[in-house]
Amino acid sequence: MFFRRSLRLPIALVTYVVAALDRGVRPKMARAIREADHVVGNSRYVSQTVEGRFGITADTIYDGIKREVFYPSLEGRQPQSKLIVLYAGSFQAGKRVNVVIREAAKWPAVEFRLAGKGEEEGKNRSLVSELGCRNVTFLGHLSQPELADEMRKADVFLFPSVSEGHPQVLGQAASCGLPAVAMDFYRPEYVVHGETGYLVKSESEISDALGVLLSDHDLRLRMSAAAARHALQFDWDRVTRDWETAFLEAVSKRRRKH
């Protein structure tokens, strides 16, 4: 950015914002947004926070989903001896894996599977022991194909994280036909409240939504089918075309400035 400005180089700059800007902005990020020829957010909410903080209109381009990896089970969701709740993400404080474990303590007949690694893993394992949960399995870090397999086997995706921009894992779960319970704070568009899962505002609402899904087989099936349909709009082919348009627009703006 320094040489582009000081030497007046005709280089177009596109800035992609992947975190909501309602909690402060680092100086380098602010500069990248102000000097960009085109600004893009990875969700409508993220784009709105760009406009609210900087007065700059940002387009929205979603993170794409690899549908050759994340796809629904070809056999459909089969009845299982045990229902499965899946969490996938890092083990950090803001992800609140402890909330998933506390829900596991309330549902001893349901299997809770936790995919990921991180600094809070030790505390999470200690909490499992403290609560006497025999229904929690730590899966460790998974490759994308391994994670997709877990999503196809699960019945509900539980994601209580409050530290997000627009988490792609929710889109991957939807693409596998997995109903989700997630937080509404960052307004994820991979989940349609009441249709493909539930967006909630508190831990008590997490418990309520999870209870509804675990108790209603037909509802899970309906939301599973709706989630898979909803995820089609996040296909990489569509996202790639959106990026092509964004780059061309940025180049056009830069040329007009020169």
Model pLDDT for residues 3-42, shown as the tens digit of each residue: 877 887 888 999 999 988 877 788 999 999 999 999 999 9
pLDDT at 135 over 90: yes
pLDDT at 152 over 80: yes
Residue 9: its pLDDT value, please? Answer: 80
Residue 258: its pLDDT value, please? Answer: 66
Average pLDDT over residues 223-250: 94
| Lowest-pLDDT choice from 7-11, 54-58, 150-154, 179-183 | 7-11
Average pLDDT over residues 182-200: 95
| Lowest-pLDDT choice from 79-88, 122-131, 143-152 | 79-88
Average pLDDT over residues 145-165: 93
Average pLDDT over residues 198-214: 96
Average pLDDT over residues 86-107: 96
Q: Which long-range contacts (CB under 8 A, 24 or more apart) does 25-28 make?
A: 25/53
**pLDDT confidence band for 217 (50 / 70 / 90):** very high
The type of residue at 206 is: I
Residue 10: its pLDDT value, please? Answer: 82
Percent above pLDDT 90 for the chain: 83
The type of residue at 88 is: A
Nearest-angstrom CA–CA distance, 253 and 251: 5
Residue 163: its pLDDT value, please? Answer: 75
Model pLDDT for residues 100-109, shown as the tens digit of each residue: 999 999 999 9
Mean pLDDT of the chain: 93
Residue 246: its pLDDT value, please? Answer: 94
Cβ(65)–Cβ(151) below 8 Å: no
